Amino acid sequence: MEGLQSAGDFGTVHAPQSLWREIRPDPPGSGQEPGAAAVVPGLPEVTTGSMRGVNAVDVVRADVTAATAQDGGTGRLVDPRAAQRLTLCTQAVDGGPDCPVRPPVLHDVTGNGKDELITALDIDGRLSELRVYTVRDDGSIARILSRRAVLEGVEVAAEHLAVREPTSNPEYISVSDYVWDPDAGIMNLSQLTLDECSALAKAPLGEDGARCAR
């Protein structure tokens, strides 16, 4: 028998149900958006236009101090534990062996031929505060990306920064791709995808860039 055939009863199709339609979040206050660019106060002017040679621990400390004061310890801009964690850093260039600030990575993510600073402050062995900083034309240092995340992996290529995070499903990992937005003056989210990671679950950390199952 040829032609169209019934595949059976698929049931009744229902439109999506919108939950809590009458409740809306308040808009963020000025400067209260975690991803917004912000000049980091209290740092010397950088005359080279590059973050190369700038002490990463000093930059993160100044940024955390300013963000904590701005959000009043609410955690909107920075984890409330971040300032306490930074007390583990010494005056050594790298902050010393117990400093939770990750080794700095210098990479041009804005396309101007000069290096930005990519680093992260580890909060509790799992959660981290990812930060990217650039030098503005006036010599000030500005944060152009802030992201609180479980950093399963961070990859940089050309002007792209990809952040890999675990999801509630152990077979998938979330990948957020950030690119420089010259109009907004920040690293903006350009793509959010899910990668299958079941094949990586048994691989040691470092193979294929990430380990999915923990």
**pLDDT at position 59, please?**
98
Instruction: Give the model's pLDDT for residue 199.
Output: 47
Entry pTM: 0.84
Phi, psi of 166, rounded to the nearest 5 degrees: -70, 155
Structure tokens given for 212: 């999915």
Higher pLDDT, 197 or 169: 169
- Band (pLDDT 50/70/90 cuts) for residue 205 is very low
Across residues 4-20, what is the average pLDDT?
74
Q: What is the pLDDT of residues 55-103, one digit of tens each?
A: 999 999 999 999 999 988 889 999 999 999 999 999 988 899 999 999 9
Return the structure tokens found at 81.
Answer: 């534990």
Cα–Cα nearest to 85, from 56, 57, 106: 57
- Measured in Å, how far apart are the chain's first and last C-alpha atoms? 52
Among 64-68, 101-105, 135-139, 209-213, the range scoring the smallest mean pLDDT is 209-213
Instruction: Based on DSSP, count helices (H) and strands (E) in the chain, helices before strands.
Output: 2, 9
pLDDT score of 151 more than 70 = yes
Mean of the per-residue pLDDT values of the chain: 87
Q: Percentage of residues in the chain with pLDDT exceeding 70? A: 84
Q: Which range is least confidently modeled, 2-6, 61-65, 118-122, 185-189? A: 2-6
DSSP element (H, E) containing 84: helix 82-86
In this predicted model, which residue has the larger pLDDT, 213 or 38? 38
Count how many residues are written for the chain: 214
- Which residue type occupies 119? T
Q: What is residue 162's predicted lDDT score, i.e. its pLDDT? A: 96
pLDDT of 207 > 80? The answer is no
List phi, psi (to 5°) of 40: -85, 115
Using alpha carbons, list the distances in angstroms from residue 177 to 27, 185, 194. Answer: 25, 16, 11
Q: How confident is the model at residue 26 (pLDDT cuts 50, 70, 90)?
A: confident
Element (H, E) at 83: helix 82-86
pLDDT of residue 53: 95
Order of strands, sheet of 116-122, starting from the edge strand that comes earlier in the sequence: 38-39, 141-150, 127-135, 116-122, 105-107
CA distance linking residue 19 with residue 144, whole number of Å: 34
Task: Report residue 47 as tokens.
Answer: 């005359």
